[in-house]
Amino acid sequence: MEKLQTHKMTVSVDKHSSHLEQFKEFYKELDDQGKTIEKLPHEEIEEYQLQAINATLEHVWNHNEYYHARLEEAGFTEPKIDSLEQLASVPMLVKDLIRGDKEKILCVAPKEIGQVHLTSGTSGKPIYTSYTLADQYVYDLLPKYLQLFKESDDDVAAIALPYEFALPGLGFQRLFQFAFGTAVLSLGKGGYMAPVDKSLELMKEYQATVLTTTPSYAALLAEESEKYGIKIGEDIQLKKIWLTGEGCSSTFRERLEKWWGCEVSFFYGSTECGVIGVECSKHQGYHVMEGHVKLEIIDPVSKEVLPYGRTGEIVVTTLLREGMPMVRYRTGDLGKLQKSKCNCGIKMDVLELRGRMEHMLRIGTEDYSPFMIEHFLMEIPDVGLWYHLKLNQGVLTIEAEKFRTNLSDEQLVEKIQNHMKNRIGIDCKVVIRDDIPRTFGKATRVFN
């Protein structure tokens, strides 16, 4: 029996309609012409975004007291902007306001909620994000990015991300199953039902071709496979790894590519906003998922919107949300936007991600992104993928492990110190350890 063309599968939610119905037509026309939003001229993408923002503003104005009041305070007499630049006049939403509050920005009746996701709440109370079923199975899947995602029904995708509370596990599961018809192995991250050895065994048994996980867990799985006698490249032959959840440097990514023998790409998203950016095969930054989100970069102090090329805080407006739209949501992540000149042909803007504001390390009188330090540390092949950065009164101590090297501890300490001095001019202390804890959760690498 011939298999259904599952990437053309549409899900309908009975008797359901919302302010987003108009975009079904937009995406259907693209589909019919064999196009995706990725390669549309940027003016056309911007026209779509303006229309989607106005539909969202009208929705939140009509269905949420908080958003309505804030828009009125800002001088709006109707929920409408005339250009994307005018988005700057819409009030911003900050994390602290919605932390621990389930209904502040909820825009549907509670009985319409199909799924609740929570942030891990590592820095305070969790943020609750409510999705309607239509959000999850209809609207979220409208934009297709077939240039960026090559997965199909020939693939088997292992998802080693948290399934409890947070969005990533279930989000990828829906994406693979409903957008590409890909079979999914829901591994989670070392939970009761799927310890590491069983997860690797399952990937082997079902010939997984795709792995989606965090950088640290990709390292952990590779490391553990050696213990369990599972040969990467023979028993498990991946063609693609998607990394998400934690940032990491390009050199860390390249080391994972070597170890796993396949292309590794970053996927940037959050539990509140969903997908934000995806790396193309050129690895020159993230293409912004402009079907799903409108991004702005602001100066975190003056809150002014910055032009292309300037680094600042990333502000996200979701375009296809019914349950809980995020309007000008301050993410706390740093980055800069460029117009796409990428020779992959994708026209969606390119985002360079710089990590989180509160994670910057002040060494001497300069601020350094931990990924930048990781980048230079990972250039040293004798250093393993597990490390700690500890900052004490402006002095950096790097705790590192050895990786397949004959160097003595003393020689490696000297090598790291010289390398960091020569490459970024940092004087640091180095401690070689062999017991840096492995983690199933988010890897903690920075101690500030």
Per-residue DSSP letter, 126: P
Of 4-12, 238-246, 272-280, 375-383: span binding Zn ion (CB under 5 A): 272-280
**Positive or negative torsion for Cα 278, 166, 370, 260:** negative
By CB under 5 A, the residues from 339 to 358 that bind Zn ion are 342, 344, 346
Please choose, from the candidates 276, 270, 318, 277, the residue with its C-alpha nearest in 3D space to the C-alpha of residue 117.
270
CB nearer Zn ion, residue 188 or residue 285: 285
- Paired with 334 in beta bridges are 313, 355
Crossing angle of the two packed helices 21-32 and 42-63, in degrees rounded to 10: 160
Least distance between Zn ion and beta carbon 249 (Å)? 19
By CB under 5 A, the residues from 219 to 238 that bind Zn ion are none
Residue 146 as a binder of Zn ion (CB under 5 A): the answer is no
Q: What is the largest CA-CA distance in the chain?
A: 71
Least distance between Zn ion and beta carbon 285 (Å)? 8
Identify the residue whose tokens are 């930054």.
285
Instruction: Provide the CA 413 distance to its chain's centre, in angstroms.
Output: 34
Least distance between Zn ion and beta carbon 344 (Å)? 3
In 50-201, beta strands by DSSP E: 113-118, 128-132, 156-160, 183-186
CB nearer Zn ion, residue 347 or residue 359: 347
- Paired with 305 in beta bridges are 298
Of 158-166, 253-261, 280-288, 292-300: span binding Zn ion (CB under 5 A): 280-288
CB nearer Zn ion, residue 200 or residue 348: 348
Q: Which residue type does 205 have? A: E
Which of residues 167, 264, 276, 280 is near Zn ion by CB under 5 A?
280
CB nearer Zn ion, residue 150 or residue 282: 282
Main-chain dihedrals φ then ψ at residue 103, nearest 5 degrees = -120, -5
Least distance between Zn ion and beta carbon 289 (Å)? 13
CB nearer Zn ion, residue 287 or residue 321: 287
Of 54-62, 65-73, 224-232, 281-289: span binding Zn ion (CB under 5 A): 281-289
CB nearer Zn ion, residue 51 or residue 338: 338
Q: Which residue type does 143 have? A: P
Least distance between Zn ion and beta carbon 186 (Å)? 30
- How many helices (H) and strands (E) in the chain? 11, 19
Which of residues 258, 282, 339, 362 is near Zn ion by CB under 5 A?
282
CB nearer Zn ion, residue 37 or residue 346: 346
CB nearer Zn ion, residue 177 or residue 338: 338
Least distance between Zn ion and beta carbon 120 (Å)? 30
Q: Which residue type does 136 have? A: Q
- Paired with 288 in beta bridges are 277
Q: Cα–Cα distance between 44 and 190 in angstroms, integer?
A: 44
Distances (CA, A) of 138 to 24, 60, 73, 78, 326: 9, 19, 33, 28, 18
CB 306 within 8 A of CB 312: yes
Please choose, from the candidates 159, 178, 110, 96, the residue with its C-alpha nearest in 3D space to the C-alpha of residue 324.
110
In our burial notation (b when 16+ CB lie closer than 10 A, e otherwise), range 34-50 reads eebbbebeeeebeebbb
Of 337-345, 365-373, 384-392, 428-436: span binding Zn ion (CB under 5 A): 337-345
Least distance between Zn ion and beta carbon 339 (Å)? 12
Least distance between Zn ion and beta carbon 278 (Å)? 9
CB nearer Zn ion, residue 280 or residue 289: 280
CB nearer Zn ion, residue 19 or residue 287: 287
Q: Cα–Cα distance between 213 and 73 in angstroms, integer?
A: 43
The residue count for binding Zn ion (CB under 5 A) is 5
Distances (CA, A) of 145 to 148, 232, 248, 411: 6, 29, 23, 48
Of 27-35, 224-232, 273-281, 290-298: span binding Zn ion (CB under 5 A): 273-281
The contact pattern for Zn ion, residues 14-53, with x = CB under 5 A and - = no contact, is ----------------------------------------
CB nearer Zn ion, residue 232 or residue 351: 351
What does the binding site for Zn ion look like in residue numbers (CB under 5 A)?
280, 282, 342, 344, 346
